[in-house]
Amino acid sequence: MRFSIFVPVALACALAGRVAALTITIGGTVGNVSATDFLQVPASMSACAATCKTATDAIAACTDDHCLCVAPTVTDILACEQCEFTQLIAQNIPMPDPRVGSSTALTAYGAACLASANVTVPATSLTLALPSNWDGPFGQALNAGGTAVTVIIGLGLGVGSIFLLSNM
């Protein structure tokens, strides 16, 4: 039983190394990240620094995946992402990183919780809300007149190209 002493030692080392380690599949250039790398606060998001620090502190304080997937951690993470999302819209800038103000990233976080911690995070805890002053494309504010003009222009372009083609 030469290994009898080594097995418990190896096991203890493995357990000691097992700090909170959710694997969140972001994809694209970011790939997979751990919870500690989930929240990003680039310079353009400085307005969210305090809100996001609360969340990164909560993540850092967790010692298991379950803690990362329940309140108040998830609530704090959503608050950070919501702040960033609101900032993206207020500044009218594209996402500087796929993790910044991203509902897709939040969905991936929820999926990681289910896979790693067997915790189903409620969708409402992962859903970003549009700012109340938002009047852009998400609102689908195209009125009937606008729609008619769009359709007529589209029709005109279509007929025009058929006319061009038939004369070639």
Ligand X SMILES: *[C@@H]1O[C@H](CO)[C@@H](O)[C@H](O)[C@H]1NC(C)=O
User: Residue numbers of the site for ligand X (CB under 6 A)?
Assistant: 23, 25, 31-32, 118
Taking the least distance from each CB to ligand X, the nearer of 8 and 27 is 27
Closest distance of CB 31 from ligand X, Å: 5
Closest distance of CB 57 from ligand X, Å: 25
CA distance 93 to 34: 26
Taking the least distance from each CB to ligand X, the nearer of 25 and 54 is 25
Taking the least distance from each CB to ligand X, the nearer of 28 and 139 is 28
Which are the contacts of 65, defined by CB distance < 8 A and separation ≥ 6?
20, 21, 22, 113, 116, 117, 119
CA distance 65 to 119: 9
Please name every residue paired with 31 in a beta bridge, in sequence order, or none if there are none: 27
